[in-house]
Amino acid sequence: MKHLIDEGNIFIGIEFGSTRIKGVLCDQWGTVLATGGFNWENRLENGIWTYGSDQIFEGLQSCYADLLRNVKERYGTVIKKAKGIGISGMMHGYIALDKEKQVLAPFRTWRNNITQKEASKLTQLFQYNIPQRWSVAHLYQAVLNQESHLKQVDYVTTLAGYIHYLLTGEKVMGIGEASGMFPIDPKAKAFQQQMIEQFDTLMAGHDCDLKCADIFPKVLCAGEPAGFLTQEGASLLDTSGNLEAGIPLCPPEGDAGTGMVATNSVRAKTGNISAGTSAFAMLVLEKELSALHEEIDIVATPNGNLTAMAHSNNCTTEINAWVSLFGEVLSAFGHETDTGTLYETLFQKAEQGDFDCGDLLAYGFHSGEHLMNLSKGCPMLLHAPDASFNLANLMRVQIYTAFGALKTGLDILKNEEHVTAEVITGHGGIFKTKGVAQKILASAINTPVAVNETAGEGGAWGIAVLAAYLEKAKENLSLEDYLDDLMAKNSKVDVIAPDAEISKGFDAFMENYRKFLSAERECVSQM
């Protein structure tokens, strides 16, 4: 493999996840050659979930440096050139930049549920669901608040688009991520022009002279050229100075789009579920939905196919907190255990729990949850005095509740729109312990769930694959066919069918989950 690296026959993918920035180095068929990473965490500042610019730069450089260290250790060489680079980030949100590429206001991440009023008004205006985390909802909020930074705005983008702009100087966006900034016209593969005009008029009515055409990125589909690494960009990414400028980059994408690629879910009637800090299900549509559902987002695959998304803001954060707590307990008794072993042991313990979690109930809401109409979050654990309170049920209920809000959204697609998939492919950190969360999820949604061996690499691998697709697109190979070939050569898939007893137990859990939401809402109101 050393010769591939020395010759530059490699592809680099970097994804800014919510808790970890991941880097992946692979060959043209997606074989992972090396990985790197950097842990980080968002901050709640003045009511806004955000990451500072210093965190973003540190994370980018540290992740890439870690990738370089692993390449050096494994192959005894350094990366000087590559055939492609891809940048991905946590979906949507709001970053406003001036002409000097300086961030004008705190980065507003997907985690913020602060634009309910604005999102609702835009949904009514467009007759198209605008979720609270979409860039246009945050922009409209800034307009209504007459925020001073608007006078200096030169570019509005997302985290993926921001990093791509710094590396290339190009104001572009992959269509999957762009569809979470503003509604997409699936035929034109561009922003909906009529809605753009409506929004420009709306801003003008509030004495804001910004025009979407001037401040939004150009929309690109997978395989389209998206610029080249500049010398400035190479120096920013690789502080060692070895990386050469001129490397082509694919269109930047959000983690929703890279998740679809990583699970080969870009054809109609395919679907995937990404489960990490947040959880979202993506079902690629054959046709538009029959009605507007404010619980369901309409986005696009990286090649522009309409996709229904059920998105929950909260998934594994509370699980992580419990695992950390148990690690502290062990440490207090003088037993140091690595994090991977902790997760695997506790997840395997969850398999021994009662199918209905012994009548335990939990809510893992660390932030607001639009699917449950919660503007803020408050993690809770509830149980009756005679509940079967033990470790197995405690861990099992945390996995159940991680999928609770997501289940609500999927039920709308299944029962009201009759949108289903024969198999759902899962990826993300919750699936690293083989079979546990996978079987629970399959039983919760009554659909077989597949997990492939690249599930742990997730979107960083997916964006590296999109970078590799730049060359294949020149051969007029469709993204669907490329992914079929790539998965056949590169990935082993494990499929687990629903378990009737677990499905019955999960239904009992969901009955309590819905019944006691009033307690969660009361707790949030008191906070």
pLDDT digits (tens, 9 = 90+) for 172-187: 999 999 999 999 999 9
pLDDT digits (tens, 9 = 90+) for 424-475: 999 888 998 989 999 999 999 999 999 976 545 578 999 999 999 999 999 9
Residue 321 lies in a domain: yes
Residue 362 lies in a domain: yes
pLDDT digits (tens, 9 = 90+) for 492-519: 788 999 999 999 999 999 999 999 999 9
Residue 507 lies in a domain: yes
Between CA 180 and CA 147 the distance in angstroms is: 22
Helices (H), 134-237: 135-144, 159-168, 175-178, 193-204, 212-215, 231-237
Between CA 470 and CA 392 the distance in angstroms is: 47
Domain interval for residue 512: 317-402+501-526
If pLDDT is split at 50, 70 and 90, which confidence band does 490 have? low
Between CA 367 and CA 524 the distance in angstroms is: 10
pTM of structure? 0.84
- What's the structural domain count of the chain? 1
In the three-class reduction of DSSP (H, G, I as helix; E, B as strand; rest coil), residue 109 is classed as: coil
Query: Residue 398: in which H helix or E strand, if any?
Result: helix 391-402
Please state the rounded mean pLDDT for residues 367-375: 86
pLDDT digits (tens, 9 = 90+) for 19-63: 899 999 999 888 899 999 999 999 989 889 899 999 999 999 999
pLDDT digits (tens, 9 = 90+) for 264-312: 899 988 999 988 888 989 999 988 999 999 889 999 999 999 999 998 9
Arithmetic mean of pLDDT over the chain: 94
pLDDT of 1 reads 78
Please state the rounded mean pLDDT for residues 63-71: 97
Half-sphere exposure for 262 (CA within 13 Å, toward CB):
33
pLDDT of 491 reads 65
Between CA 438 and CA 434 the distance in angstroms is: 8
Residue 351 lies in a domain: yes
Residue 85 lies in a domain: no
* 417 burial level (CB within 10 Å; 0-12, 13-18, 19+): middle
Residue 160 lies in a domain: no
Between CA 133 and CA 119 the distance in angstroms is: 9
Residue 343 lies in a domain: yes
Share of the chain above pLDDT 70, in %: 99
Between CA 75 and CA 31 the distance in angstroms is: 15
Q: Inter-axis angle of helices 436-445 and 391-402, to 10 degrees?
A: 60
pLDDT of 359 reads 95
Task: Print burial letters for 419-443: b (CB count within 10 Å at least 16), e (below 16).
Answer: bebebbbbbbbbbebeebbbbbbbb
Residue 369 lies in a domain: yes
The pLDDT of residue 248 is above 70? yes
Residue whose token pair is 């239904």: 507
**Is 482 in contact with 11 (CB distance < 8 Å)?**
no
Nearest Cα to Cα of residue 140 among 97, 181, 194, 186? 181
